Structure 1
Amino acid sequence: MAAVRRHRQWATGAAGGAARHRLVDRLNRRRAAPCGLAEDARRHRAHRRCDRRPGGHLRRRHRRGEGASLRGVRLRVPGSPTLTNDRQRDDERVTEHPIANTEQAEAWNSEEGQHWAAHQDRYDAMSGAFTEHLLGAAAITETDTVLDIGCGNGQTTRLAARRASRGRAVGLDLSAPMLERAAATAAGEGIANVTFEQGDAQVQPLPSSAFDVAISRFGVMFFADPVAAFANVGTAIRPGGRLAFVCWQDLARNEWLMVPAGAALAFVELPDLGGPGAPGPFSLAEPDRIEVILGDAGFADVHVDSVDAPMRLGADAADAVEFLRGTGMARALLAKADPPTVARALDAVGEALRPHEQADGLYLTGTAWLVTAARP
């Protein structure tokens, strides 16, 4: 049974009002007839074909021809370790890996991934407080081997590698633009005990029991089949090893999204942001669902704690609006609007953000689940 510390009801604060209530109402109506927990678990079991492995872990059996193939580049920092003997070609290690989540792969290798790579420092600063919670829970020692799932631009991988000074860290992600930034940054910082690989954690061939700990900062919500993905990750963690990740709580509890989106909704329609059961930022928003998924994937000792943190969106409202308009959510919100409507929506977002300006930047609160589990 998971230990779950429930989060307090999020206060509306200064940005409350009709726009916020309208956003919550629309979101609730878009999530028509959500599946119950038992049905959700049943669909997971029906979706995959699996064998029970020793210790309760699951091994996915893929039908011939199932899924696509991802030509992944292993990006190495000079002197860094590798985990498999892939063929060498110039300065790259090239492998062919299957990919199950083609939609997410397309997104993170196009505009979304490019935006994250271009704004590496901004995204890292936004998530900085959550990173502290994550690494504290992971309890990485100097000799550990660490797997970072959905590593993105690689900040958490690099920090893990520094903590595992006599061990090593491997970052895994779908996004080539972000992995290139990750490898370049690690090389620039002189971190040699780190490797970055492009692949889908759901189906990526991972060495058995090779890692002491697996971590993820907001990188595990996008799996097409989360049970299969966590089971695959579980096989790579040694018995007695651990898993630690942070994932977003419900949209309504995340001020950093509610404030700008609520203001924009006076002019544009709410896009499909996903929710429990569908790949997307809020797929693991329900703690009971996290328990079901991790238990079904073979993990034990599941703990789910609520954490919130200030997120710096920019120097001021104008800077934050310019940044936010390039994010995936903003592009989805504004995609069908004409230029005058887009301008009015962005003006409204700026007005909604202005009360949150502080001397050192504009801050809004983010709320996440901090999840830990053990590999039996």
Structure 2
Amino acid sequence: MKQRWWYSALACGASATLALLGCALLTKQYSATASILIDPPPSSDVRTAVAVSPVYLESLRTYEYFAGSDSLFQRAAEQFHLTAADPSEPIERLKKRVLKVSKLRDTKILEITATLPDPKQAAALAGFLAAQTAALSQAVGREGDQELIAKTEQQLQAEEKRLGELNQAMQHLEGGQANGSERYKLESLIDSQAGVERELMRGEADLAEHSDGGLQRRVAELQKQSAALKARIAESETRIARTTAQREALEADIAAATRERDALRSRARDLRAIVGTRGERLSVIDAGVVPQRPSSPKTTLIVMSALLLSFVASVLYLSVGFSMAQLRVRTSRFQHAEHERTY
């Protein structure tokens, strides 16, 4: 190896030259990074607002799918004409080559990195994706709140309709004037029955003093009238009791429906007040700057790697060559010794 050191020098020089030439031929790529801060939803409890568990931080990785969605990247590709260089390239491969989204470990920071040959375009693309990710998160949260509000308002309308039907049923119920007339009729029947009872008592007393056919017929007629009046009184009391029970049931249903309607109104009002604020809030804290240095190719790393690999390869080559030469010498000496022994 001392005698043939120039092998290693030549290999290292050639590999370094080829590496430099390859880096010069490769297209320079610039990476721009935009950062998003994920704030937890506001809370009235200070303890829950401050304490952030590792499980919660890990759950924030969901927002990587917001920034890395195919539809969002396709809109960005159309706006920045990313497919103009190679229209046949699939959008999935282009996204894998251009976009990188990651949430920093144990933080609430989401980073969006765009890599393109044009540094200004890379910075604009990263900023656009960051802004659209925040807007998409707000739109999704607002859409969920709007669906919940619409469902609550639908329940409120159904409850108001039911309450109107109950009030209408109460108005048409045999209460109010109808029930009052029924009570007046009942009182009148009771008075009539009391009068008949008094006449019946007097008739029975007169009949006890002296027997008379006409008086007996009169007493029998009064007994029939008293029985008929009692039956009518019982029917009237039954109708009044039934109407009263229906009215009490309707009043209970109206009270329950009123409470439910008021609760739904309050819930709908609260939902309108907090629409779009129940989920995490995404804020763009760094829209990205125009990169000054290319992210690839990394010339220094490539050249150093080429030098190291070429040096190791040259040493292995010289070592193997030296071993093979030693093996040939030993084989030649052994054959020569065998030849002398034979002759």
* Highest RCO, 1 vs 2 (Cα 8 Å, sep ≥ 6): 2
Normalising by the residue count of structure 2, what TM-score does the alignment of the two structures yield? 0.24
Normalising by the residue count of structure 1, what TM-score does the alignment of the two structures yield? 0.22
Q: Looking at CA atoms only, which structure, 1 or 2, has the larger radius of gyration?
A: 2
| Higher normalized helix content (fraction of residues) | 2
